[in-house]
Amino acid sequence: MIRNSVVAKLWLTIVGMVFVIQALLSVLLQQVFNKYIVEREIETLTQLATSIQSVLTSNSNRNVKERVASDIAHNVERADIKYAIPYTQNPMLLQAYRSLTPSQESQFNAGEPVAVHRMGNRSNELAVYVKLVDPGSLPGMLVVTQQMSVLDEPAHEMRNLVVFDTVLGVILATGFAFVISNNLSRPLLQMNRAAEQMARGHYRQRVKVVTNDEVGRLGQTFNALAEELSTTIEQLSMEREGLQRILSSLEDGVVATDMLGHVVLANPPARRRLRMLSVAEQGVVNEQLLPDRLMKLFVRVTQEQEPVFREDTWEGRTMAITMLPLYEADASTMRGTLCVLRDVTEERRLDRLRKDFIANVSHELRTPLSMMQGYTEALLDDISDDPAMRQELTEIIHDETLRMKRLVNDLLNLAQLESGQFQMNIHRIDLVQLIRRTARKFQALASEYGLAFRLSTQDEPVWIEADEDRLEQVFTNLLDNAFRHTAEGAISFVSDIRNGYAYIRVSDTGAGIPEEDLPYIFERFYKADKARTRSRSGTGLGLAIARQIVFEHQGDILVESRFGEGTTFTVVLPISNDSEQRQSDRWE
C-alpha cells in the first residue's frame, strides 16, 4: 500500500528525516549536557578543595581546622574529604598518588589541583587532588570526592526534556509532512486519475492548476498534452471512420495482411470472397488467413517486393487480383501486403458482347450488301432483257434495303432505350383495346398459315399508364415470333388481371426454345434456328427491344418454353388504381 502511495512515501520520508535528526540531536545534547555537568562539578569540587586547602594550611587549631573543613564540605552534596600530612601516612592517599599519570603527577607536585574522573563497574566518581604544604614535614594530600549518582536526577530530567522535545518534533513533523505531501501530491494524484480516464478513452480530462511552481507547470504541461492528444485522437477517429466507410462502400474487396499472411483488415466484399474461397478449399470458413490461391501471390510479393497483377476465375466469376507490398514509415521495411479483389465478370461480359455485337452487325449487313452488290452488278451488266427479271432483281434490292433500314432503326432504338434517352409518350390508355387492335392484324395471317388463333381478354376497359405505340410494338413482335416459329397448332393471346397487375401471355405450340438457349433469348441478335422458321428470320433485336420497352413501363417480361412443345411469353404491367378497384368489385 505504501509503495503505491506518493503521499505515504513523502510523509514517511519527512517524518523519518525529522526523527533521525531529533535522535542525533538528542544524543549530542545528552553528551554535551553530561560534559557540562561534569565540568561544573569539577569546578565546584576544585573550589571546595582550594577552600579546604587554605583552611588546613592556616595556623588555626587542628580541631578548628577540621570543623571548618567539614562545614565547607557540607555545602556540597555527598562530598567526601580525606587528607593526610604527609600523604604517605594514609595508604589510600598513597595508592591514589601512585595511580596518577605522569602529567597529573607533575601538575600535583606543582601545587595545581588535579581532577580525576573514575568510572568502573560499580563506581562513578569525581576526585580532586590538592597538595598540602607543611613546612615542617613532607607534603600532604587533600582528596575531595563525590559520587556521580548525585547528578543522575538532573541528567534524568535532561533526558526527559530531550525525549519530550523529540516526540513533540515528530508529532509536529508528522502534521507538517502530511500537509506538505498532500499539497505536493494532490496535482500528481489528479494527473494520475486523469491519465487513467484517458487510458479508458475519455480524453476530455483536465487537472486543476493552482500554483506556478514545478508541480503547477507540470499540470499545465499535462493539460496541454491532453488537449493535443484529444485533438489528435479525434482526428484519427474521424479519419479511421472515413476510411472504414470508404472501404465498406467499395464494391471491390480490399485485404491487408501482415508478414505471415494473416488478415488484419478486410472490407465486407473481401470477407465474402475470403469465406467463399476458404469453404471451397478447406471446407470451413477461415477469414484469418489468406486462401491458397492468394497465398501463392503473397509469397511472390514478399519475395520480390513488387506489385503483382493476375486474373483468375472463382466460382464462375472473373476476378482481377492486384497485390502490392506495404512498408513501414521508413519506406524500406516491409510490414505486410495489400490485396485488391475486383469482380470484372461484367466488364469481360460487356467486352464479349461488344465483340459479338460488332461481329453480328457485320454479319447482318454483309449478307444484304453482298446481295445488293450482286444484283446491282447484274442490272448494270444488262444480263437480261426480260422486264420481269429486272423487276424481280429491283424488288430484291428494295427488300434488302428495307431490311438494312430496319436493322439500323432497331439498333438506334435499342441504344436509346438502354441509355435512357428514348422519349416515351406516356398517357392513359385502354389495354383491352390495344390488345384487340393488335390481334386483328394477325387474324388474316392465322388463316393464311392455317393456325388456330385464340384471343381472350376482359370485357371492361383496363386502364394503364403507357406508350401505346411502343406496347403495340412489343405485342406485335411477340405475335410475329409466334407465327414464324409455329408450323402447325394454335397461338393464343390472353390477358388477365390479378393483384394490381395485368398479365398478357402470348403462347404457341411451335418448335420451342432449347433449354440452354433460354438465358440468351433477350440478348442482341439472338435468333432461333432458321431451319425451324417458316420464313426469313428477323434482325435478332426484337426481343431485346421488347424487354427494354417493358422495363421502361415498370414491368417485366418472362419466358417459358419446352423444346418441341411451344413457348409462352408473359408481359407483366402495373395497372391504374381505378381499374384495379373495378376488377375487385367485379370479382366480389
**Is there a single domain that holds both residue 433 and residue 401?**
no
**Is there a single domain that holds both residue 522 and residue 548?**
yes
- Residue 358 belongs to some domain of the structure: yes
pLDDT reading at 509 higher than 80 = yes
Q: Which residues pair with 565 in a beta bridge?
A: none
Among 97, 125, 150, residue at a domain's last position? 150
Q: Using the 8-state DSSP alphabet, how is residue 289 labeled?
A: B
**Is there a single domain that holds both residue 430 and residue 471?**
yes
**Is there a single domain that holds both residue 409 and residue 489?**
no
Structural domain including 574 reads: 424-580
**Is there a single domain that holds both residue 444 and residue 395?**
no
**Is there a single domain that holds both residue 338 and residue 456?**
no
What is the pTM for the complete model shown?
0.41
CB atoms within 10 A of CB 515: 10
Among 396, 422, 448, residue at a domain's last position? 422
**Is there a single domain that holds both residue 43 and residue 97?**
yes
**Is there a single domain that holds both residue 371 and residue 491?**
no
CA distance 166 to 161: 9
Q: How far is CA 54 from CA 57, 66, 82, 351, in A?
A: 5, 12, 15, 144
**Is there a single domain that holds both residue 413 and residue 439?**
no
- Residue 21 belongs to some domain of the structure: no
pLDDT reading at 215 higher than 90 = no
The C-alpha cell that represents 338 in the structure block:
495489400
- At 296-326, the pLDDT tens digits run 888 888 888 888 888 888 777 788 888 999 8
**Is there a single domain that holds both residue 453 and residue 554?**
yes
Confidence category of residue 380, pLDDT binned at 50, 70, 90 = confident
Q: Are strands 317-327 and 308-314 parallel, antiparallel or unpaired?
A: antiparallel
Confidence category of residue 504, pLDDT binned at 50, 70, 90 = very high
What's the total number of domains in the chain?
A: 3
- At 512-546, the pLDDT tens digits run 888 877 877 877 666 655 444 444 455 567 788 78
- Residue 193 belongs to some domain of the structure: no
Among 150, 182, 212, residue at a domain's last position? 150
